[in-house]
Amino acid sequence: MRNEKQTRKEIIDNRLKQAGWNVTDRTQVIEEFFISVDNNVVNEPPADYGAQFSDYVLLGKDGMPLAVVEAKKSSVDARIGEEQAKQYAYNIQTQFGCDLPFCMYTNGHDIFFWDLENYAPRKIFAFPTRTDLERMAFIRKNKKPLADELINTNIAGRPYQIQAIRAVFEAMEERKRKFLLIMATGTGKTRTCIAMVDGLMRAGWISRVLFLVDRIALRDQAVEAFKDNAPQYSVWPQTGETKIVTDRRVYVSTYPTMLNIIEDENLSPHFFDLIVIDESHRSIYNVYQNILSYFNSVILGLTATPTDAVDHNTFELFDCEDGLPTFAYTFEDAVNNKPPYLSNFEVMKLTTKFQQEGIHLNTISEDDQKKLIAEGKDPTEINFEGTDIEKAVTNKGTNALIVREFWEECIKDPNGVLPGKTIFFCMTMRHARRIKEIFDQFYPQGAGEIAKVIVSDDPRVYGKGGLLDQFKNNDFPRVAISVDMLDTGIDIPELVNLVFAKPVFSYTKFWQMIGRGTRVLNPNERRNWCHEKDKFFIIDCWDNFEYFKLNPKGKESKSQTALPIRLFKMRLEKLKVAIEQNSDIADLEKLELEKLINSLPKNNVVVQDNATHLEKVYEPKFWENLTDEKMVFLDQTIAQILRALSSVDFKAMRFEKDIVEFSLAQLKNESQDIENLKEIIVEQFAELPLNIGVVAKEKEIINKALKNSFWVYPTEADLKQVIDKFRGIFTKRN
């Protein structure tokens, strides 16, 4: 067991040396620093019993005391030296007439740092360097009152952003060292942070800041944000820099990179005055907790997670009471502002048989969850790679159905033809590639440019001209198919569609994903592919909203062409092709068109207003000789009246439209369309639950339709039977 002298020589001296202090150089360190209590000569042996001595005094370059260090033997609690260190610091200030030295006390293993009259004592990882102490002393002496510091409203000028900054400033003036801002995704957390850093720099409270993010794309985005909004502060890393340098003001890093720097580089634990944690997650409490344990700095946490869903550990980490962050600004606040700061959304639920079978968090064993936590991963972030679920969702028919539904229902560009900017959230790379293949097969006119897979491990994603840059700034691609990379932090105001093609179990991440679409457009920066945006659209393929017990607004179809109109026009096109080919199918299609018209509700206002037009097509002679003029009349006038056909089963009607489109492809002999449509139709049959009575009764036709041989060249009678049976099943089930 070491005594105090041994502890000093064997441990403390070495730890001081690691921080750059030469304990044998009396211009840096004075051991056994004697202090005369009655204002006699300092640093001479005491003339009487009333003198004191400090184990170490650390000197600045000017020879004045910067800090005292009180040593205790390694077997006792270092904190018993707290009061001694405090007395020595005040006595040295009196003797020298100098600034109050910092005080530290240690048993060699634990080191405590006390900035007297400013902050409470705190445990630190290692001794500060001389440069660290001189910087901290300069800040302490020269910092200005934050209440007097103006906020640069060109960086963050919205009222709530200014309130957030002032809330942190007030807390800092109250000597707090940890703060938590909860701000809905899209409300400008990064800009708020930059304006805050700018104010703290100008007021002299900080000289260096570390901005931590969880992925490279967010690092690059934050670097650019600092360069754009606060170019007066040098930023690390610059393009091509890998090694950390020490002459910058702002440092932006991913968690793994900073952990590697701590382990491999000789970076002082006191190097940063402020650390900003952008969107903290569970890894902060595990693997990456070492970063916060290592650095001795003020800490600011930023999160978009709604207050009522923020983890208890997060409030505890930032020294906040549960449910009481330093400042909060909610999604509802932003949407309801006049004018709104964020776009609201509408949701359409799309469920297939694999989703119905269900995936739950409890499918991961408790041991596996603990293992994920130990690796710094969130157990709610399930990795489906190589699982049976992945094999199921990469089924071509399932994904074809999702892509087809998306194409029909999504918010389009101003031309109303192609989808607006969209993110598909996929499970795995294999899943993403399958979605990409389907887009290319269904829409070959896009020449492979409409949809792109954008994932973090693809080097082509990054940098100017990379896939992410193209998606943000170019007309194409319109659809970004991603696995995890675009779930958080990507800021693209023109995003108008999100497709949740995977289940999400983290409430925090779920809101981050929704937040990709919440940005409102800058009216001065409108793109050709997005002139306006009053809402965005979500297709939820996995009951995620239901899982989190949310009841969002459903999709309004007023801006879309009504399904009955689309079916009528599809049959009209088929009739036109059949007439051109002199096919008997023409007579059958005439009957189907008449049937649609006759199903219109007679008391409907739209129908009554168009009674004169309808009277023409109710005459049997109208259909005997369909001239070009009549075809135009049907297409431009009668088809629009079909929007009144509202009391139908739209799922059955959508299936009917798919069958009609398939038969049209047969007439035109378009083999690729035939194959694609077959996959979609068969998938819908495969989803039917055969254990339900009304479905079981039609088992024979279902099994028949599931065979490839049925679709080689089915007759019109075969296809009509399929339509009738499918319609019957859904009418009875509903």
Per-residue pLDDT of 580-628, as tens digits, reads: 999 889 999 999 999 999 989 887 777 888 999 999 999 989 998 999 9
Mean pLDDT value across residues 17-38: 89
Cα separation, 410 vs 495, whole angstroms: 11
How does residue 530 score in pLDDT terms, banded at 50, 70 and 90?
Answer: confident
Copy the structure tokens of residue 37.
Answer: 């209590």
Q: What are phi and psi of 326, to 5 degrees?
A: -60, -40
pLDDT computed for residue 194 by the predictor: 98
Tens of pLDDT, residue by residue over 200-216, are 999 999 999 999 988 78
Which DSSP string do the residues of 512-542 spell out, in sequence order?
HHHGGG-BPPPTTS-BTTBS--SEEEEEESS
Half-sphere exposure of 86 (CA within 13 A, CB side): 12
Of the candidates 727, 728, 678, 666, which has an alpha carbon nearest to the alpha carbon of residue 707? 678
Contacts of 418 (CB under 8 A, 6+ apart): 412, 446, 450, 478, 529
Copy the structure tokens of residue 580.
Answer: 């051109």
Contacts of 669 (CB under 8 A, 6+ apart): none
- The answer to whether 37 touches 22, Cβ cutoff 8 Å, is no
Copy the structure tokens of residue 263.
Answer: 């382990």
Tens of pLDDT, residue by residue over 252-287, are 999 889 999 998 888 999 999 999 998 765 556 566
Strand-pair partners of 213: 254
Looking at the chain, the whole-number percentage of residues with pLDDT higher than 70 is 87
Q: Mean pLDDT for the chain?
A: 86
pLDDT at 45 over 50: no
| For the chain, counts of helices (H) and of strands (E) | 30, 19
User: Is 464 buried (19+), middle (13-18) or exposed (0-12) by CB count in 10 A?
Assistant: exposed
Strands lying side by side in the sheet with 122-124:
29-35, 52-59, 65-71, 102-106, 111-114, 122-124
pLDDT at 25 over 70: yes
How does residue 704 score in pLDDT terms, banded at 50, 70 and 90?
Answer: confident
Copy the structure tokens of residue 646.
Answer: 């509202």
Tens of pLDDT, residue by residue over 477-505, are 999 999 988 887 678 999 999 999 988 88
Cα separation, 364 vs 361, whole angstroms: 6
Copy the structure tokens of residue 527.
Answer: 């793109």
How does residue 49 score in pLDDT terms, banded at 50, 70 and 90?
Answer: very low
How does residue 41 score in pLDDT terms, banded at 50, 70 and 90?
Answer: very low
Cα separation, 516 vs 526, whole angstroms: 18
SS3 545: helix
Please calculate the CA angle 251-312-361 and round it to the nearest 5 degrees. Answer: 95
Half-sphere exposure of 716 (CA within 13 A, CB side): 15
Amino acid at 354: F
Contacts of 206 (CB under 8 A, 6+ apart): 139, 197, 200, 273, 274, 298
How does residue 47 score in pLDDT terms, banded at 50, 70 and 90?
Answer: very low
How does residue 652 score in pLDDT terms, banded at 50, 70 and 90?
Answer: confident
Of 4-13, 115-124, 457-466, give the lowest mean pLDDT range.
457-466
pLDDT at 356 over 70: no
For residue 679, what is the enclosing H or E element? helix 671-686
Residue with tokens 């008391």: 603
Mean pLDDT value across residues 18-39: 87
For residue 609, what is the enclosing H or E element? helix 605-609
pLDDT computed for residue 691 by the predictor: 66
pLDDT computed for residue 377 by the predictor: 60
Tens of pLDDT, residue by residue over 400-425, are 888 988 988 899 887 777 889 999 99
User: Is 256 buried (19+), middle (13-18) or exposed (0-12) by CB count in 10 A?
Assistant: middle
pLDDT at 527 over 70: yes
